[in-house]
Amino acid sequence: MRKNGIYIFIIVFIFLWVVPVPFLPAVTKTSEVEFKFKGKIGSEDRREELFLDITDVKADSQGNIFILDSRNNCVRKFSNELKFLVETGREGQGPGDMNSPSALALDPDGNVYVADNGNMRINVYDKNLVFLKSIRLKEPMFVRKIFVDRKGSLIILRIPRLKDDSYFNVYSSEGTFLKSFFNEFHPFAPKINSMKELRDNIGFLAYMAAQAVLSQDRSVIAFTYEVPENPLVVHLMDIEGNNIRTIKRLLRGYDPVAQRKDIESIALKNKINLQGKHIVSYVRGLHFLEDGSLVLQRYDQIYEDGNPNGSISYLDCFSPDGNLQFSEKILSIDIISIDSNNNVYACSLESPLRSQLVIYSLGINRKAAAITPADD
């Protein structure tokens, strides 16, 4: 039973993330947003830069970059000058080993946390990637994101399995389970009571997936569903799960009801129902900037006769008080994370593998954005 649950969540993970998306050129500038190329990591010619699936990226206060490679079952550390420093991890079940890791986090002291999904645990390493300990999860789950608050508590965003599950689990720094919170599901999410029902509803499991991010000061969590409602809703809550405010953003021309059949057909690989041109909208990620602004990346995946055929990507930027500053259409890019200096870590998806990390400096024209916020 446990293996079936993990297997299904891996299917959801692959469906939501491994899709061909054209890549943004080295420098892109619009009226409000500029991506300035700074460098890249990833090369087939150097073993330490050979990546198979860059899954998560975090930077510490010194600018060192930690890259999680799910298919290589490892974490690699690079300097702020993009030089390789150290690596840890291999496939296995022993101390520090990994099996399909899915998320990465840093605590205030620079320790590294890795969601080791296949082994049902969180591995903890020091800033030099020396293994410290593992935190055993209390039940099978697919970990989507992990965060560490200012007190050292571990906050896990999971993909829920059953209708009574919550999206967030919290563990103490010592590994004791503390609580769960937030069990509001997408309106189209199936109400699942058993593992059998989970398997029977695989066509709609995309509605169970979500995105979340912890603010730079580790005090606020932003949460939204990967398949957006309309209006799109972002929940802002404190680290205890208490609501702060709700952001709502009307998406013009987007019909979530009409998209529902396309979501099912894609998950079940039913190309008969996808003849002609179809556009499916997703939220790709949430990112807090240093000043407390929230950036939401969403994209429209285009299908022609059932096959992916390009995409259109957007950035929505909200002020710290939740007001939409602008919505800017950009060429497709997969933003993995944004650090406290507004450096953007993105993946080139020119090939099916997420094998190269590209770093940009994000510039936002606040004056232009404040005067002329753009609509879709």
Which is it for the CA torsion 140, 184, 312, 264, positive or negative?
A: positive
Look at residue 267 in the predicted model and tell me its pLDDT: 81
Structure tokens, 295: 């950036």
All domains of the chain in start order, with CATH: 2-371 (2.120.10.30)
- Confidence at 20, pLDDT banded by 50, 70, 90: very low
Q: Find tokens 């491994």 and name the residue.
A: 18
Between 205 and 91, the higher pLDDT residue = 91
Question: CA–CA separation, 233 vs 250, rounded Å?
Answer: 9
Amino acid at 367: K
Look at residue 4 in the predicted model and tell me its pLDDT: 42
Say which residues have a Cβ less than 8 Å from residue 267's Cβ, sequence separation at least 6.
15, 202, 203, 204, 205, 206
* Residue 132: its H or E element: strand 131-136
> pTM to 2 decimals?
0.88
pLDDT digits (tens, 9 = 90+) for 284-336: 999 999 999 999 999 888 888 888 888 888 999 999 999 999 999 876 678 99
Task: For residue 234, give the nearest of 284, 187, 183, 286 by alpha carbon.
Answer: 286
pLDDT digits (tens, 9 = 90+) for 249-294: 999 889 999 899 888 888 878 877 888 888 889 999 999 999 999 9
59: β partners: 65
Question: CA–CA separation, 257 vs 93, rounded Å?
Answer: 43
